[in-house]
Amino acid sequence: MLSAAIHLLRLARAGFVLAREGVFALVDAAVLPPGPRLALRLVRLIERRNAGSGSARLASALTRLGPSYVKLGQFLATRPDVVGQAISRDLETLQDRMAPFAQGVAETAVAEALGKPVAQLFASFGPVVAAASIAQVHRAEIDTADGSRSLAVKVLRPGIERLFQQDLDCFFFIARLAERHSEEARRLRLIATVETLARTVAIEMDLRLEAAALTELAENTKNDPDFRVPAVDWQHTARRVLAIDWVEGIPLADQDKLRAAGHDLVRLGRVLIQSFLRQAIRDGFFHADLHPGNLFVDTEGRLVAVDCGIMGRLGPKERRFLAEILYGFITRDWYRTAEIHFEAGYVPPHHSIEDFAQAIRAIGEPIHDRRADEISMAKLLTLLFEVTALFDMRTRPELLLLQKTMVVVEGVARSLDPTLDMWTAAEPVVREWIERHLGPVGRIEDAVTEIGSIGRLIGSAPALLTRAAGTIERIDEQTRDGLVLSPQTVEAIGRAEARRWRWTTLALWVIAGLFAVWLLR
């Protein structure tokens, strides 16, 4: 009871901040019943006069509420199925910037995490250079055999785990309350949504996992000439501290500096699109937070990505789905594009492929009558998911994350080159994957893989037969002197037998009575 009261108090504070910042102005009062409509009008009496636009209101309110709400807003930006397209777009503008914590606090946290004083760990440990909801970054130097090495050291905010847990408990409380009383909340699976947020935050708060993601992404892209991620310094990395090579480069958002340094912005836009698609389609592991603040251009003209706290994964089925979908739209093969949805199991088989192909054609044909720079691949994916909803396609979180990342990537690429032809940029990557995996070489490799699976099954046959023989022997031992049943089972069988014998006895008495009547005739 006390816990519920605490949650209600925290939610009341959150509601006051949301009302004060004018967030409730985004609610359409016309669709509400009279009671809630009146409550909405009363709540709006306390909002600030200069609350600003919808996106500004949301961003301001969530920033004031603290790190947990900022992270919630960023997460819900990837779930338009929960909050709707309009609010999702507003939340995309939310910047993860918070006031930094003190230098001394950061140095103490680093010393505790790495087990040595900062002076022994680093030749120098500079002031904060960036601060976000979960952590902040410092520039540091270490001595090496070749001289010195510059590092970016990421440090978790003190007490952030406890703060997030308190707010997550509130989110769970309101989700359970909503699902208990609302069919729509149950359909949207609000509890499962909060659980996903909780898992995402838990991963982000263990910086060793981000280090592992950086390392995996570096291995996947080591042969890509135009993209890289900084190397991890594992000696100075722990659960609450992450050290990577300092990136000497120009932020992608600073286009004036990029031009002054002689970088080709048109090429950079194409590189960004192709790098993202290679990660998603070729590797099945993509950076899912590619906003300009996480992207730099180094002296060699390569794109450098940092902050791998949010990553997306696609399995082989999803990668094939994405590649063939894009290729189907490029080649205008609508029937094959529809087939892919059915083969992947995304659309239930009771629907018609022909009808679904017709729906996809309605999306795809208009794009071929427009200029390339007017075609939005991200909007295309959004429309595609809206159409598939009409055909009972279940929400796929990994595809939603892919879609939202595509929205961000496309926006950044178009800021570099407003006339960027998304399809021309994407075609080489998609065609290479199609030829590699669905062509003759790919089919031979699939056959070899299948043969290998059969070989492993045959190789494990003796062990399977041994286990089966052992199981049969144990069953034989247990039933040799009669099958031993639990008391509950025996009691249940006894009750069933008693009922059966009662009816049998009654039937015998009826037969005997009828026989006696027949004898006395």
Catalytic residue ranges:
289
490 sits in which H/E element: helix 487-519
Beta strands 303-305; 295-298: pairing state: antiparallel
Length of the chain: 521
Residues paired with 154 in a beta bridge: 137, 242
Cα angle vertex 203, ends 221, 165, to 5°?
160
| Spacing of C-alpha 491 from chain mean position | 50
Q: Which of 367, 316, 320, 360 has its CA nearest to residue 338?
A: 360
| Spacing of C-alpha 41 from chain mean position | 36
353 neighbors 338 (Cβ within 8 angstroms): yes
Which DSSP state fits 146? T
Please give the structure tokens belonging to residue 17: 């901040």
3-class secondary structure, 131: strand
C-alpha distances in angstroms, 103 versus 106, 390, 444? 5, 54, 58
Please give the structure tokens belonging to residue 90: 């507003």
71 neighbors 134 (Cβ within 8 angstroms): yes
Helices (H), 291-421: 316-331, 334-343, 353-367, 377-390, 397-416
Percent helix / strand / coil, the chain, rounded to 5: 65, 10, 25
d(CA 480, CA 474): 10
DSSP secondary structure letters along 182-240: -HHHHHHTHHHHHHHHHHHHHHHT-HHHHHHHHHHHHHHTTT-TTEE-PPB-GGG-BTT
C-alpha distances in angstroms, 458 versus 349, 419, 452, 474? 33, 57, 10, 25
329 neighbors 380 (Cβ within 8 angstroms): yes
